A = this chain, B = another copy of it.
Amino acid sequence: MALLYKSLSRRVLLTSAAMKRRITPDARQILLSPPLISIDFPDIWNSSSCLDYSSTATSYVSVDPMLLADDPQSTTVIDGRVIADEITSGITSEVRRMKNSMGKVPGLAVIMVGERRDSQTYVRNKIAACEEAGIKSEVSSLPDNCTEDQVLNVLSHFHEDPSIHGILVQLPLPQHLDEGKILSSVRLEKDVDGFHPLNMGNLAMRGREPLFLPCTPKGCIELLIRSGVEISGKRAVVIGRSNIVGLPTSLLLQRHHATVSIVHAFTRNPEQITREADIVVAAAGVPNLVRGSWLKPGAVVIDVGTNPVEDPSSEHGYRLIGDVCYEEASRVASAITPVPGGVGPMTVAMLLLNTLESAKRTYSFT
C-alpha cells in the first residue's frame, strides 16, 4: 500500500489554469478564492411562457404525454385554506384557554414601512387573522422615507412592551434601509418570522434548535405531513434560495431527513434535477417557471410562488399565479397546492401559531 500510494502521489499534475493562478499579481492576496461570495443580487431566471390560462386547448403541446398521469382526477389538490382554517381554529381555542386561565392573550406587532400595495394586503390579512383568533395585534406604519433609527426605535418600543410576544417587520423594506441590520435587531424571543441569522444558524445546525421556524417553510412541511407525504429519505428539490423561503425550507426538509437539492438561477438543466424529486418546493418567484415536463410522475408539488399577473377581468386588475404551471403540473403530480389557496393561508396560520407559542413561552403557560 505504501508503495502504491507513493506511485500515485507522483502523479501530481496541475492544470494550466491552476498554474497560472499560482502567480498572483498581488502578493498579499494569499487565497485565490474571493473572501466570500455574497448572494446579494437577485437570481435572474428565464421564465417560460407556459400556459395561457385564457386558452387551455392548445397549451399542453410541449409536455411529453408520457409524463401525464393517466387519470388526472387522481391528483390531490392540497387545500391550504381548509388546513389553515383547521389550524387557526386550534389556535383560537388555545388563545381562549390562555385568556380564561390567566387573563392574557398573545400579542403581535407589525412594522410596516412605505405603502406597497402587496405589503398592505399581506399585513391586512395577518391582522384580520389575528383578530379572528383572539390575538392582540398592533401595526406601526412608517413613511417610505423614514430613517433606520425610526424603525429601530419602533422595534425597541415593541421589545419593551410585555403585551407583545411577536414582532414582524414586513418585507421588502425600502432600498435605503439596511434590511439585514433591522432584522438582526429583532429580539430573538420575539422573532416570530424566524429571520434573525442566529435563529437561521440554529435551524441549520445539528443539535441546536431555533426559537421559531420561519412561517412559510413551517407551513410547507405541515402541508406535506397533513397530506400523508413521507419526507424522510425522499428526494426533495427546493427551487429558489431566498432567506425567507428557499433557504429555511431546504434546511427544514433536511431536518426531516429528506435528501435536498437546491436549484437556483445558476443551475444548469433545472428541469433535469427537478424531475428526480419526490417533493418539489417552488419558491423562485417566477410565474410558471416549473412546467409539467419538470416533474416526475407522482411527485408532490408545493407552490410557494404568488406572482401578480395582469388580468383586466379580475376585480383588482390582476390575479396571483404560482411558480408552477398548475394545469400541466396537476396532470403529472400526485398532489399539488393551488395558488392562491395553498401555501399563502398556511403562512398566516404559522405566524399566529408562532405568536401563540411565544406567549406561552413567556408566561410558561402549558
Residues of A that sit less than 8 Å from B by CB: 1-2, 4-5, 8-9, 11-18, 21-22, 27-28, 30-33, 36-40, 53-54, 56, 73-77, 79, 82, 86-87, 90-91, 93-94, 179-180, 196-202, 204-210, 213, 218, 221-222, 225-228, 232-233, 235, 241-243, 247, 251, 254-264, 266-268, 273, 276, 311, 313, 326-327, 330, 338, 341, 353
Decide: A93 and B27 in contact? CB cutoff 8 A. yes
- Please tell me which one of the listed residues B9, B225, B235 contacts residue A32 in the complex, with CB atoms under 8 A apart: B225
6 CB contacts below 8 A, A to B, read: A8-B338, A39-B257, A179-B207, A204-B204, A205-B247, A259-B262
User: In the complex, which of the residues B200, B259, B313, B326 contacts A201, with contact meaning CB atoms closer than 8 Å?
Assistant: B200
Chain B's closest residue to A256 (CB) is: B37
Known contacts A77-B8, A241-B254, A86 near B22 by CB under 8 Å: yes
Chain B nearest Cβ from A243, distance in angstroms: 5
Closest residue of chain B to A273 (Cβ to Cβ) is B259
Given A207-B38, A255-B36, A53:B4 Cβ within 8 A: yes
A259-B206 Cα distance, complex, nearest whole Å: 22
Contacts of A8 in B (CB 8 A): 77, 326, 330, 338
Q: Which residues of B contact A225 (CB under 8 A)?
A: 21, 32-33
B222 touches A33 (CB 8 A): yes
Task: Kindly list chain B residues whose C-beta atoms are within 8 Å of the C-beta of A53.
Answer: 1, 4
CB distance B9 to A247 under 8 Å?
A: no
In contact, A267 and B259 (Cβ under 8 angstroms): yes
